[in-house]
Amino acid sequence: MMQATDKQENPTRSGLVTAPELKRHGFFRNVFSGIKSLLEGMKVTFHYLSHPSTVVTQQYPENRATLKMMERYRALLTMIHDENGLHKCTGCQICHDNCPNASINVVTRSNPVSGKKELDRYIWRMDSCTFCNLCVQVCPFGVLKMDGSFEGAVYDRRLFVFTLNHYAGPAAGLLAKVADPEERKKMIEPRDRYSGPVPLNGQELAGVKALKKAESGCCGGSGGCCSDSQGSQGSKEMK
Amino acid sequence: MTGITENIWQAKTVAQRAAEALPESVWFALGYMVLGVVGVAAFIAVLGMGLIYAERKIAGHFQCRLGPMRVGWHGIFQTVADTLKLLLKEDVVPAQADKFLHILAPLFTLLGTILVLAVLPMSPIVHVSDVNIGVVYVGAVSGFGVLGILLGGWSSNNKWSLLGAMRAGAQIISYEISATLALLVVVLFSGTLRLSEIVESQAAGWWIWRAHGVGIVAFLLFFIASLAEINRTPFDIPEGESELTAGFHTEYSGMRFAFFFLAEFINMFIVAALTATLFLGGWMPFHIGDFAGFNAIMDMIPPGLWFTGKTAFLVFLIMWFRWTFPRLRVDQLMRLEWKVLLPIGFANLIAAAVVVLFNFYFFPVR
Amino acid sequence: MSVHITTLDDRVRLRQDDSSPLSTQEYFVNMGPQHPSTHGVLRLVLKLDGETVREVIPVLGYIHRGIEKMGEHQSYRQFVHLSDRLDYLSALINNWAVSMTIEKAANIELNDRIQVIRTLMAELQRIQSHQLWWGVFGMDLGAFTPFLYGFRDREIIADIFEETVGARLTMNYIQPGGLMYDIHPGFVKRVKAFLQYFKPKLAEYETLLSGNVILQERLRGVGRMDGQTALSIGATGPVLRASGVPLDLRKSEAYGSYGKVAFDVVIGKNGDCWDRYWVRLEEMRQSMKIVEQLIDNIPEGKHMVMKPAVKIKLPEGCYYNQVETARGILGVYIVSDGKESPYRIHLRTPNFNNLWAITETAANWRLGDLVAILSSLDVVVPDIDR
Amino acid sequence: MDSANLLTAVAAAEPNAKPREKADRAAVQVPVGNLSALMKRLRNDSTFAFDMLCDHTAVDWSEQGTFELVYQLYSTVHGHYLMVTTSVPRVSPIVPTVREFWRIAEFQEREVYDMFGVLYDGHPDLRRLFLEDDWKGFPLRKDYTDDFMLERPE
């Protein structure tokens, strides 16, 4: 048996490595070298059996406390809110236009006080998102970031469509210019995760049926209770 | 048997006890019979689960994994949970299948293994039935297994299953020859077909080393051929997952699949136990001829433990093979049998005959 | 005119041979779309004579997503992320192929840092892809353990990617005009640790599988394909090189930083499964050589030469560019009409072209050999179907 | 050969072949009638020796009413590329097959037939490649629509 590790340089062409040929020998040499090769393989596997420290299994979810995703890991699109709960999104819709599969829907409104165009709802469809990161890259204000919280599984895919911003209103910079706190309060309106034109709020999207509106309350931000999609559909039809 | 064997090791089987009890009370005899049957059944279930757990754990560590860890301490109840799941699963019989044979096939396979288990001398006291033609009996009833496999593959009405069954048929029948040839070597040495007597004949030393190399060749032949008979890697082509999806049991689910699965693992045990019985002295402790002092020390370890230890080692070896080697191709498998193992087997048998004829082995007893 | 449109039914019609009572019958079997060794939804209709394969008819389309049609409605920048979904095991190299085509067409000049990082990433990806292939190859031949060893070692490169790129499989990292992120500060350290770790592991691969007598017997002479056939059937990458044709775009085109590093092109002699096996193993070694040469010499510079929000428009015309992925040549053909999205974008994928080698090589081998041959071609089904 | 020499050589071999404008590499355009003869020379003539058909695809120029068929050739002997294109009318798209020169053409042509409905004269096994045999329409044509196509929501 020829050792496969033997590098056989081909002299005719430089910069080439040619595969070694497997040679046959006599019957007994074949048998013995064959048995030897088998034993060598068994040595490799036995090494791992006898060294439990080589185990690479991660005991998820038991290791949740120590499991750290890399900081750049792309699992969940989030809108950065500062310590006062303010974001910097102006509702310019660049991300909306750059999203390859229309997973981002930026709904704007005009401010009730100033009348300026501003963000109403930043709706993200996690179900169709491919996590290509283009939205994060193109945002001129650094509003978005990809978060590493990968535990996004839910029982109903309609829960994958939700609102990212915590309030509708002007961006942090603009809001800072408003001196009067009362005025400020008037300009902002809180937004929760499952409000607005999302299936949980009775709206249909392409390929996603709407959920009954009455149920949206129970789902809140956690999700999970609306697992029986068929059932909720049925109850809707009965009405 | 001469004085080396002491009478305390005279095997007394459950069947004998039943026969002895019969004149006194029918109920006692019946009790022993029930004990035998229930004992084997319980043994199969527990052993199957144990072996599956061991295989998964060992495979895991061979592969830098942990294996089952969730159900119970280190997943010790994982196979119990799996068995429960298999019991509760829907039993799907394909619409186009030959239903009667489809249902019958796994039973045959399991039957073959149970019948072999009945004659295995596991220790002087744990022995269900001591058949005087034990070796022939083992060869005969293990054929039930291949019958089940062929039936299962054929009745599934699936070309992959049929391919697997045909492969299994060809393979098992071919390798049976080599296994029998190797078995005959031991029969020649011990001069008996009774398994318990084969064990006792090794009181002066195991056959694997007492016959100047003939024994070890026979051991290797028997072990390899038996591996092929029970379709373990590297001879697992009848169910070669990457080729035939699951071979003959592709169309089986739930309990019936469990039967095949169980039979496979019990077969592994049987092969290990038979090899241990024939070549490694069964429950006989490690003795060297007349060295009474050494032998006495070895006798301190109870025979049941010897048997378990030897079998466990061989089972581990089988698993080790499985988790290291790729599998052979169909034609290579046949070539290995007919061109390599069979000639060696015949030559070895003749050599064994010469050895026996001239009483040439170490510590001849006759 | 002799245009005749056939159907699959025409192909699988059996000719009954009743000439003799002993005559046997060939039969058709569906291998796939769900089958353990087609690794995805590849369907091969096999014409078998007992165990012997007489004919292989690949039936495709089970994972066709119309990426080319989608591309006609996406901007150039958006299209790059779809190339991840072709051959997902060399996602980064696919990104590079698309980006490079766009950059060449739009005359975007890149700095050395971008080129070196791209080359590094591509080689790591190649090693990673070959690791997975090695494991899967072992599994297809019945040895399950190599599969997990391959995955175990692959995981380390996946961690490297995760740290810098933020994704483990579909990266979208190499973009027109540069890279999504600059390399992470821990990148160099991690890569060096990997090189340290993987060298002995590669020797272990050799002992566990390459040296194994059963494996050698399974591969020797199986599925032989000479260089001319391989060229004619469109095979590229390791499959072509194993047939003795030293075509490696990394050498002949020397894109990226490949012109600056020393490495050998690995070729085989007979074009059998053993050669294809060995070529890939040796390519891992060569890739490590490239990584070793580059990892200490990453030049300074920006990671992106243009703003990501800038819209790319290619001048009218057609552009074709090729890159050597882990499985062969990925060609990107873009027809631009001057708008923001391509008029037509076509991908010449390596696996689509490599796959057909099976129709040439598998005939008259056993079923088990077919699995070995298919595995030695290393097809990734989404790359075939696109 | 560099691309200028290559174009000259091709022009000498096939007078009907015109250089294709707006291409990033050596490219010629031939009438359908001359395609087979040109391909044969490109494959067999030792000055060209195009032993590899890298790619074959089509472009639907629906406004001009033509399909442009594109062949990317590569020679491992000389290391040069050539793009050969030919145009066929959309209404009766028939081209001679080049399968006899490159085996892979059989499958690449099947893909083009599947996606564009271009018919290949002399093709031994012209059938759908990705879609079912009874699929209606040819998806990569610009005017293709079916019930499953989604518009990008705004």
The rounded distance, in Å, linking the Cα atoms of D140 and C70 is: 10
Backbone dihedral angles phi then psi of residue B17, each to the nearest 5 degrees: -60, -40
Residues of A near B (CB-CB distance < 8 A)? 31, 38, 41-42, 44-46, 48-49, 52, 54-57, 59
Interval B94-119 mean pLDDT: 84
Nearest residue of C to residue D82, measured between CA atoms: C320
Do A25 and A104 lie in a common domain?
A: no
Per-residue pLDDT at A6 exceeds 50: no
Backbone dihedral angles phi then psi of residue C374, each to the nearest 5 degrees: -60, -40
The per-residue pLDDT for A229 is 38
Residues of A in contact with D149 (CB under 8 A): none
Do A48 and A87 lie in a common domain?
A: no
For residue D61, tell me if it sits in a domain: yes
The rounded distance, in Å, linking the Cα atoms of A202 and A103 is: 18
* Range of lowest pLDDT (A59-68, A187-196, B154-163): A187-196
Q: What percent of chain A has pLDDT over 70?
A: 79
Nearest residue of C to residue D119, measured between CA atoms: C3
Number of domains, chain A: 2
How many beta-carbon pairs below 8 A join chains B and C? 79
Q: Does D86 touch chain C (CB under 8 A)?
A: no
Q: Does A22 touch chain C (CB under 8 A)?
A: yes
Do A92 and A138 lie in a common domain?
A: yes
The rounded distance, in Å, linking the Cα atoms of D100 and D40 is: 9
Mean pLDDT of chain B: 81
CB contacts under 8 A, D 112-151 vs A, are: 150
Do A47 and A90 lie in a common domain?
A: no
The rounded distance, in Å, linking the Cα atoms of C101 and C332 is: 7
Q: Give the domain range for residue A86.
A: 76-225
The per-residue pLDDT for A5 is 38
Contact A5, C206 (CB under 8 A): yes
Interval C310-326 mean pLDDT: 87
For residue B43, tell me if it sits in a domain: yes
For residue B330, tell me if it sits in a domain: yes
Per-residue pLDDT at C365 exceeds 80: yes
Per-residue pLDDT at D14 exceeds 80: no
Q: Does D121 touch chain C (CB under 8 A)?
A: yes
pLDDT category at A217 given cuts 50, 70, 90 is very low
The yes-or-no reply on C/D contact (3 CB pairs or more, < 8 Å) is yes
User: Among C187, C131, C197, C143, which Cα is nearest to C161's?
Assistant: C187
Backbone dihedral angles phi then psi of residue C187, each to the nearest 5 degrees: -60, -50
CB contacts under 8 A, D 14-73 vs C, are: 21-25, 27, 51-55, 57, 59-60, 70, 72
For residue D111, tell me if it sits in a domain: yes
Kindly list the strands in the beta sheet with C43-49, ordered across the sheet, starting from the edge strand earlier in the chain. Answer: C27-31, C43-49, C52-59
Number of domains, chain B: 1
Interval A155-176 mean pLDDT: 81
The rounded distance, in Å, linking the Cα atoms of C350 and C358 is: 14
For residue B223, tell me if it sits in a domain: yes
The per-residue pLDDT for A7 is 41
Per-residue pLDDT at A3 exceeds 50: no
Q: Do A4 and C159 touch (CB under 8 A)?
A: no
* Range of lowest pLDDT (B347-356, C55-64, C278-287, D1-10): D1-10
Mean pLDDT of chain C: 86
> In chain C, where does DSSP find H-type helix?
8-11, 67-71, 76-83, 91-106, 112-140, 145-164, 187-205, 213-219, 227-232, 237-242, 249-252, 273-295, 350-355, 357-361, 367-377, 381-385
Shortest distance between the Cα of A75 and any Cα of chain B, in A, equals: 26
Shortest distance between the Cα of D152 and any Cα of chain A, in A, equals: 7
Interval B330-357 mean pLDDT: 86
pLDDT category at C172 given cuts 50, 70, 90 is confident
**Rg of chain A on CA atoms, in Å:** 29
β-pairing, A8-9 vs A16-18, is antiparallel
Per-residue pLDDT at A13 exceeds 70: no
The residues near A68 (Cβ < 8 Å, ≥ 6 apart) are none
β-pairing, C27-31 vs A189-190, is unpaired
pTM above 0.90, yes or no: no
Domains of chain C, CATH where assigned: 8-59 (no CATH), 67-385 (1.10.645.10)
For residue B2, tell me if it sits in a domain: no
A134, A135, A144, A147: best mutation site toward chain C, by most C Cβ within 10 Å? A134
Nearest residue of D to residue C247, measured between CA atoms: D76
Shortest distance between the Cα of C356 and any Cα of chain B, in A, equals: 20
Nearest residue of C to residue D132, measured between CA atoms: C61
B56, B58, B63, B233: best mutation site toward chain A, by most A Cβ within 10 Å? B63
Q: Give the domain range for residue D108.
A: 3-121
DSSP C45: E
With helix as H, strand as E and coil as C, how does B319-345 read? HHHHCCCCCCCHHHHHHHHHHHHHHHH
- The CATH number of whichever domain residue A191 belongs to comes to 3.30.70.20
Retrieve residue B143's tokens: 């054929």
pLDDT category at A61 given cuts 50, 70, 90 is confident
Q: Give the domain range for residue B128.
A: 7-357
Q: What angle do CA D126, D129, D132 make, to 5 degrees?
A: 105
pLDDT category at C16 given cuts 50, 70, 90 is low
How many beta-carbon pairs below 8 A join chains A and B? 37
Nearest residue of C to residue D139, measured between CA atoms: C69
Kindly list the strands in the beta sheet with A117-125, ordered across the sheet, starting from the edge strand earlier in the chain. Answer: A104-110, A117-125, A161-163
Contact C111, C343 (CB under 8 A): no
Interval B229-251 mean pLDDT: 79
Contact C203, A5 (CB under 8 A): yes
The yes-or-no reply on B/D contact (3 CB pairs or more, < 8 Å) is no
pLDDT tens-digit profile of B11-67? 566 677 777 777 777 777 787 778 777 877 888 888 888 888 888 888 888 888 888
Contact A33, A25 (CB under 8 A): yes
> In chain B, where does DSSP find H-type helix?
14-21, 26-62, 78-88, 99-117, 134-141, 143-155, 159-190, 195-200, 207-210, 214-229, 241-244, 254-279, 292-299, 303-322, 330-335, 342-357
Residues of A in contact with D76 (CB under 8 A): none
For residue D9, tell me if it sits in a domain: yes
Q: Do C331 and D127 touch (CB under 8 A)?
A: no
Per-residue pLDDT at B152 exceeds 50: yes
Q: Do A20 and C181 touch (CB under 8 A)?
A: no
Interval C321-346 mean pLDDT: 89
C35, C141, C376: best mutation site toward chain B, by most B Cβ within 10 Å? C141
DSSP C206: I
The per-residue pLDDT for B232 is 82
Mean pLDDT of chain D: 85
Element (H, E) at D12: helix D3-13
Residues of B in contact with A24 (CB under 8 A): none
Backbone dihedral angles phi then psi of residue B287, each to the nearest 5 degrees: -115, 150
Residues of B in contact with C366 (CB under 8 A): 329-331
pLDDT tens-digit profile of B170-207? 888 888 888 888 888 888 888 888 888 788 777 777 77
Contact C117, C160 (CB under 8 A): no
Residue bearing tokens 């210019």:
A177
The per-residue pLDDT for C127 is 92
Residue bearing tokens 């890298």:
D54
Per-residue pLDDT at B96 exceeds 50: yes
B231, B322, B329, B332: best mutation site toward chain C, by most C Cβ within 10 Å? B329
Interval A187-213 mean pLDDT: 72
- Amino acid at site A162: F
Do A127 and A42 lie in a common domain?
A: no
Q: Does A68 touch chain C (CB under 8 A)?
A: no
β-pairing, C43-49 vs C27-31, is antiparallel
Interval C202-219 mean pLDDT: 86
pLDDT category at D27 given cuts 50, 70, 90 is confident
C214, C274, C373, C374: best mutation site toward chain B, by most B Cβ within 10 Å? C214
Per-residue pLDDT at C359 exceeds 50: yes
The residues near C341 (Cβ < 8 Å, ≥ 6 apart) are C71, C72, C73, C74, C75, C76, C79
Retrieve residue C192's tokens: 């060096």
Per-residue pLDDT at C30 exceeds 60: yes
- Amino acid at site A151: E
Query: Nearest CB to B329: which of C145, C209, C369?
Result: C369
Spacing of C-alpha A19 from chain mean position: 43
Buried b (16+ CB within 10 A) or exposed e, A153-190: ebebebbbbbbbbbbbbbbbebbeebeeeeebeebbee
For residue B153, tell me if it sits in a domain: yes
Q: Do C142 and B240 touch (CB under 8 A)?
A: yes
- Amino acid at site B36: G
Do A86 and A119 lie in a common domain?
A: yes
Do A123 and A210 lie in a common domain?
A: yes
For residue A192, tell me if it sits in a domain: yes
SS3 D88: strand
pLDDT tens-digit profile of C182-199? 888 888 998 999 999 998
The rounded distance, in Å, linking the Cα atoms of B198 and B121 is: 10
For residue D32, tell me if it sits in a domain: yes
For residue B75, tell me if it sits in a domain: yes
β-pairing, D27-30 vs D81-89, is parallel
Q: How many CA atoms lie within 13 A of C345 on its CB side?
A: 29
pLDDT category at B10 given cuts 50, 70, 90 is low
The yes-or-no reply on A/B contact (3 CB pairs or more, < 8 Å) is yes
The residues near B69 (Cβ < 8 Å, ≥ 6 apart) are A57, A59, B75
Q: What is the crossing angle of helices C145-164 and C112-140, to 10°?
A: 160
pLDDT category at A33 given cuts 50, 70, 90 is confident
User: Among B4, B9, B363, which Cα is nearest to B209's?
Assistant: B363
The per-residue pLDDT for A211 is 65
The residues near B279 (Cβ < 8 Å, ≥ 6 apart) are B186, B206, B207, B208, B215, B218, B219, B222
For residue B362, tell me if it sits in a domain: no
Spacing of C-alpha A49 from chain mean position: 36
Q: Does C297 touch chain D (CB under 8 A)?
A: no
Number of domains, chain D: 1
Per-residue pLDDT at A120 exceeds 60: yes
Interval B277-303 mean pLDDT: 76
Do A47 and A80 lie in a common domain?
A: no
One-character DSSP codes across C153-186: HHHHHHHHHHHHTS-SS----EETTEESSPPPTT
User: Among C246, C287, C236, which Cα is nearest to A14's?
Assistant: C246
Do A209 and A128 lie in a common domain?
A: yes
Do A92 and A185 lie in a common domain?
A: yes
Alpha-carbon dihedral of residues A42, A47, A48, A50, nearest 10 degrees?
A: 120
Interval C12-39 mean pLDDT: 77
- The CATH number of whichever domain residue D74 belongs to comes to 3.30.460.80
The rounded distance, in Å, linking the Cα atoms of B300 and B317 is: 26
Residues of A in contact with B318 (CB under 8 A): none
